[in-house]
Amino acid sequence: MFRIGLFLLTNFAVIAVASLTLNLLGVGSYLEQSGSGLNLTALLIFCAVFGFAGSFISLFISKWMAKRSTGTRIIFQHGSAEERWLVETVKELADKAGIGMPEVGIFPAQQSNAFATGWNRNNALVAISQGMLDRFHKDEIRAVLAHEIGHVANGDMITLTLIQGVVNTFVMFFARIIGHTVDRVVFKSERGHGIGFYIVTFVAEIVLAFLASMIVAWFSRRREYKADYAGATLADKQGMIRALQRLQAETQQHVPNQMPDTMAAFGISSGFSDRVMAARATHPPLEKRIQALQSL
């Protein structure tokens, strides 16, 4: 029920923000005044506003959404000895990376995982699963936290948002051009848009979004290598390698990913890999990540 409510609330916010922005820009219909052709400039602005609005709203509520969807409990320095160590370690790594102190949390998943999110590098959240906290050694946890701090310091959340906004824009743009062309050529609509436009546009958006997701996934895989490097340099290379090896052993047991779908790309591990869908994977295979660190 919460996810449905969040989905409806987010989409309502996107429509409200996009509509207000379009009105401020003076952009109305993207059809030409005759109703027979497309105003490509207006169409591109329309698609960009909607494409980026969704991405930026998701970014700005990312911390709140992550806490709610994962059940993350924020910890403070006056907690248990283990919690104090976590907060102090994150503070040390954040200072070393030159970013503001993130919030630190634990989420109740038995799968070993961790994530970082937030709308800017000085207002982030770093969280670790209870399972990882129970089973990993401290030097491995420290390396994992450094990996997540690396994501924040590299500005990965902002960059991913910008890439997703560009992708959204061009998916909407080209889907409407395809829909308009088919509506005119096949369905012979002369003015406005008929049912053919909406059906073809809908199908084209699904196909183009599937293809475009490979671009976003490619960037996501690249940022994992950089975050692993941050884990090795901010903390310890061998600790980072051992942490990835522990994750690899867990994924070989086909332990399911307990991260919500909306957070899967932000975890240090995406669970066991499906090689058939490797082009859309958000994380490189763990063996390749280990090899990359060993070759440093």
Which active-site residues does the annotation give?
148
Asked whether the beta carbons of 26 and 151 are under 8 A apart, the reply is no
Of 97, 52, 104, 64, whose CA–CA distance to 83 is shortest? 104
- Per 3-state DSSP, the chain is made up of helix, strand and coil in percentages (nearest 5) of 70, 5, 25
Asked whether the beta carbons of 278 and 213 are under 8 A apart, the reply is no
Helix (H, G, I), strand (E, B) or coil at 236: coil
Of 178, 181, 193, whose CA–CA distance to 31 is shortest? 193
Quick one: how far is CA 89 from the chain centroid?
Answer: 25
